[in-house]
A and B are shown apart, each in its own frame.
Chain A
């Protein structure tokens, strides 16, 4: 394997559970390149939810928590407050984060807690066999929508911004350098960093929604749907139908961050006495 993989992957957990050609694997690849320097790697604490995405921390040879479905952000909040010097990275999926975990997502973003969240969006519930997710496009065919999906999908990056996330980026598994850069920037960013990565799921979304399990073809489709933010801004809603903007979508530094805020609160309360 690549020297970085030899060094940074948990050998006993390999091979990964990711299917042949799964976009999650490319995200793991790009992530390891971002965190390989010892000054970053040695202070990592990874948290995963349930789903294919949630397995990602298990494959990295560092402190990792594999938590309950949808609750990665709640556990990560506790982890960060207990060990504020750790660089906390959460690996989640579109189901884990926007469906069952939607509420925790709202509040983790609202609190602007200093962590980096990587949400791998394959627009479906992959691990459980290909059911409709909140991110599944209208009319798509899935295991639970054989006559077409009657629900419009949700834009996780817009939700993140509305709730208060202070770093928001979207990339795809066809843009590994973008992912690596976003992870580095998210780790440096002193607040809630949300990175959505559109990924191919050859086994479920590929077969049911796009009619193919050819991961190279699915990757091409994702790449063609991606529009750099600068160009997307000038495009109409019709032109953007079925497509999405990629790049750094939002960054701000004017929101209080939870870890610091609570530390200051504790000091104030201790100083003022009962």
Chain B
């Protein structure tokens, strides 16, 4: 699976990290322009496409897609 995270839209709430059942999202040391620490994907092959990160994100900064669907 490909997990796209829009770094500049993210407000660093950590809800996606906390809710990933595969624990494959982690807080990175990267700060976006607003100063938020943003999440990073540690193991995209582990993703089960549950969409918790994408559906919960208050800023719609996460998009999960199948590798075959990627443009």
Interface residues of A (CB under 8 A from B): 1-5, 9, 15-16, 18-26, 28-30, 32-33, 173-174, 176-177, 202, 214-216, 219-220
Q: List 14 A-B contacts (CB under 8 A).
A: A1-B59, A2-B60, A2-B61, A5-B60, A9-B60, A15-B11, A26-B15, A26-B55, A26-B58, A33-B55, A173-B56, A176-B56, A214-B14, A215-B13
A25 touches B58 (CB 8 A): yes
Contacts of B19 in A (CB 8 A): 216, 219
- Interface pair A25/B63, CB less than 8 Å apart: no
Chain A residues within 8 Å of B54, by CB:
2
Chain A, residue nearest B12 (CB): A20
In the complex the two chains form, is B36's CB within 8 Å of A20's CB? yes
- Check: B46 CB closer than 8 A to any chain A CB: no
Count of interface residues, chain B, beta-carbon cutoff 8 Å: 21
Question: Does A21 lie within 8 Å of B14, measured CB to CB?
Answer: yes
- Is B18 positioned at the interface, with any CB of A under 8 Å from its CB? yes
Cβ contacts under 8 Å, B9 to chain A: 1, 15
State whether A3 touches B63 (Cβ < 8 A). Answer: yes
Known: A1-B6, A3-B63. Is A177-B12 also a contact (CB below 8 A)? no
Residues of A within 8 A of B57 (CB): 2, 25-26, 29
| Contact, CB under 8 Å: A176 / B14 | no
Q: Check B18 against A216 for contact (C-beta < 8 Å).
A: yes
Name the CB-closest residue of A to B4.
Answer: A2
Nearest-neighbour CB distance to chain A for B11, whole angstroms, equals 4
A185 to chain B, nearest CB (A): 18
Indicate which residue in A4, A21, A29, A176 contacts B11 across the interface (CB closer than 8 Å). A21
A25 vs B60: C-alpha distance in the bound complex, in angstroms?
Answer: 8
Min Cβ gap B54→A in Å is: 7
Contact B14 A215 (CB under 8 A): yes
Give B35-71 as 1s and 0s: 1 = Cβ < 8 Å from A's Cβ atoms. Answer: 0100000000000000000111111111100000000
Complex: A4 Cα to B6 Cα, angstroms: 13
B1-36 contacts to A (CB < 8 Å)? 6, 9, 11-15, 17-19, 36
| Cβ contact within 8 Å between A29 and B60 | yes
Q: Complex: how many Å from CA A32 to CA B62?
A: 14
Return chain A residues, CB-CB under 8 Å to B18.
216, 219-220
